């Protein structure tokens, strides 16, 4: 497959959009084991509040500094942590490619996650913005960095499934 240099801008935009859509379907469909594969090996994934992000405070709900740490989040979800069953439904939109330098695309988009538990009631669980750095490996887009900057400072109960 052609590498990133020979992809036209339209194709790049389409592939970045596809990455975004596949990512959320993967999580919502409970195929969490596939989630780390959207990232590069040396990736950064952070779920961090708008409050901390704006004030340059580094503490994050989830902070992964490698694909291995992403896999550990999935492994803990499946094998270690105890929580009530819940289902996510992501809606992502307003995606913009803000710029590119040295093959790294800065992409931002809005997201909202609805959550439904076994009582059958759906709530707005978390909303915010994805702030991404996307690179192409063998012509396919990967997340070098995804910051999930959330507005919903008050996390309802707990967070165990990645956003």
Partner 1 sequence: MEAVTKNQELNLTWPEEGITRVPYQVFLDQKVYDEEQKNIFRGPTWNYLCLEAELPNKNDYKTGFIGDTPVVVTRSSDGTFSAFVNRCAHRGATVCMDSCGNSRSFTCVYHAWVYDDKGNLKGVPFKNGVNGNGGMPDDFDTKKLSLTKVRVENYHGMLFGTFDENLEPVDQYIGEKMGHYLQRVFNGRPIKILGYQRQKMQNNWKLYFENVKDSYHASLLHLFFTTFGINRLSQKGGIDLDERGMHHVSYTFGNKNENENVYKNEKVRSYSKYTLDDPSLLDGWDEFDDGITLAIQSIFPGVVLQQIHNTLAVRQLLPKSPGECELVWTFIGYEDDSDEQIEMRLKQNNLVGPAGYVSLEDGGIGEMVQRAIVRDGEKTAFIEMGGKDVKSENYRITETSIRGFWKNYRTLMGL
CA 68 – CA 71 distance, rounded (Å): 5
CB closer to partner 1 out of 99 and 120? 120
How many residues bind partner 1 (CB under 8 A)? The answer is 36
CA distances from 41 to 36, 69, 71 (A): 9, 10, 11
Encoding tokens for residue 84? 């009530």
* Out of 18, 81, 98, 140, the residue judged to bind partner 1 by CB under 8 A: 81
Binding to partner 1 by CB under 8 A, coded x per residue (else -) over 95-134, reads: ----------------------------------------
Nearest CA to 97 among 132, 143, 129?
132
CA 83 – CA 85 distance, rounded (Å): 6
Cβ at position 112, least distance to partner 1 in Å = 18
Choose the binding region for partner 1 from 3-11, 21-29, 48-56, 106-114 (rule: CB under 8 A).
Answer: 48-56
Query: What value, to the nearest 5°, has the Cα angle with vertex 44 and ends 41 and 47?
Result: 140
Choose the binding region for partner 1 from 1-9, 24-32, 70-78, 108-116 (rule: CB under 8 A).
Answer: 70-78
CA 92 – CA 135 distance, rounded (Å): 20
Give the residues lining the site for partner 1 (CB under 8 A): 47-49, 51-52, 55, 57-66, 68-69, 71-72, 75-76, 79-84, 153-160
């Amino acid at each position: 497959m052609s590498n990133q240099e020979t992809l036209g801008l339209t194709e790049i935009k389409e592939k970045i959009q596809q990455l975004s859509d596949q990512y959320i379907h993967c999580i919502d469909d409970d195929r969490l084991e596939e989630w780390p594969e959207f990232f590069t090996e040396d990736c950064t994934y952070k779920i961090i509040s708008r409050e901390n992000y704006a004030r340059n405070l580094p503490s994050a709900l989830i902070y992964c500094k490698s694909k291995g740490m992403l896999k550990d989040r999935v492994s803990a979800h499946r094998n270690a942590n105890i929580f009530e069953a819940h289902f996510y439904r992501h809606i992502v939109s307003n995606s913009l490619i803000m710029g590119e330098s040295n093959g790294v695309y800065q992409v931002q988009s809005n997201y909202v996650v609805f959550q439904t538990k076994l009582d059958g009631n759906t709530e707005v669980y978390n909303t915010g913005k994805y702030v991404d750095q996307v690179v192409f490996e063998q012509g396919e887009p990967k997340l070098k960095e995804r910051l999930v900057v959330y507005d919903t400072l008050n996390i309802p109960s707990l967070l165990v499934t990645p956003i």
